[in-house]
Amino acid sequence: MTANAGEVFGLLGSNGAGKSTTIKMLTTLLPPTSGEARVGGFSITRQPVEVRRAIGYVPQAVSVDGSLTGYENLLIFAKLYDIPHGEQEARIREQLEFVGLTAEAGRMVGQYSGGMVRRLEIAQATLHRPRVLFLDEPTVGLDPIARDAVWKHLVDLRTNYGTTLFLTTHYLEDAESHCDRIAIMHMGKLAALGTLKELEASLGAGSHTLDEVFVHYAGITIDSGGSFRDVSAERTTEQRLG
């Protein structure tokens, strides 16, 4: 499985299929169980430091500090990313403007809406201009307006900086609207890979939808709901983004 430079690559699958685990291995947060992978040209096993420098990561759980302002959250990451001191202020201001949070920079993040939190996390994860941005359920728990706002900024990232976007999502309409190619996982293995048209055509003659493709390859109905642990984790994230 290869994600091409500058594309929006979607990884789909039922709860427990291995999507989040795959992202955690690709971002070097978990060691691979077997095999090898390269991100930004670097080995995740032999060059983990180089991989981390080349990527940004927006996890499913909230990754910003609600007791700090938006500006302060970005300042901490500017230091962590070793952005030169003389460039930090301009870079932070640029990111805040990019995600539409300039007016909210001095507010405590705990007062932000869910959509604002996700936009701040995108600004935070791309502060160092990564080549690849990993997003684990970037719009989970957001209302349709907030989801559209987050996607606008993700599309702008790809357009303005050529950033490769690698994301997981349960919203099939997001994958259908924005992904150049889609991979479907089933029980930890790759079940299908291709463009939307290629995946739909793989089901044979006639007209097919991404919903039908998902059910066919993921081996589970779309509204299965997942396990108690899956539901609990997702609802916790929704409440925190609330």
- Cα separation, 80 vs 182, in Å, equals 32
Q: What is the pLDDT of residue 24?
A: 95
What does the alpha-carbon distance between residue 93 and residue 82 come to, in Å, rounded to a whole number? 17
DSSP, collapsed to helix, strand or coil, labels residue 201 as helix
Would 121 be classed as within a structural domain? no
pLDDT, residue 61, reads 86
Residue type, 40: G
Which of 178-196 are b and which e, b meaning 16 or more Cβ less than 10 Å from the residue's Cβ?
Answer: bbebbbbbbeeeebbbeeb
Q: In the prediction, which pLDDT does 16 show? A: 84
Would you say residue 193 lies in a domain?
yes
Q: What six digits make up the tokens of 8?
A: 């929006």
Look at residue 99 and tell me if it is in a domain.
no
Domain count, the chain: 1
The CATH number for 172's domain is 3.40.50.300
Distance of alpha carbon 43 from alpha carbon 51, whole angstroms: 7
Is 79 a member of any domain? Answer: no
Q: For residues 57 and 40, what is the distance between their CA atoms, to the nearest angstrom?
A: 14
92 occurs within a structural domain: no
Instruction: Give a yes or no: residue 182 inside a domain.
Output: yes
pLDDT value at residue 177: 93
20-51: b (≥16 Cβ within 10 Å) or e: bbbbbbbbbeeeeeeeebebbebebeebbebb
pLDDT given at position 223: 46
Q: Does some domain include residue 201?
A: yes
Low pLDDT (below 50) residues in the chain: 222-232, 235
Residue range of the domain that includes 19: 8-63+130-241
Q: pTM (2 decimals)? A: 0.86
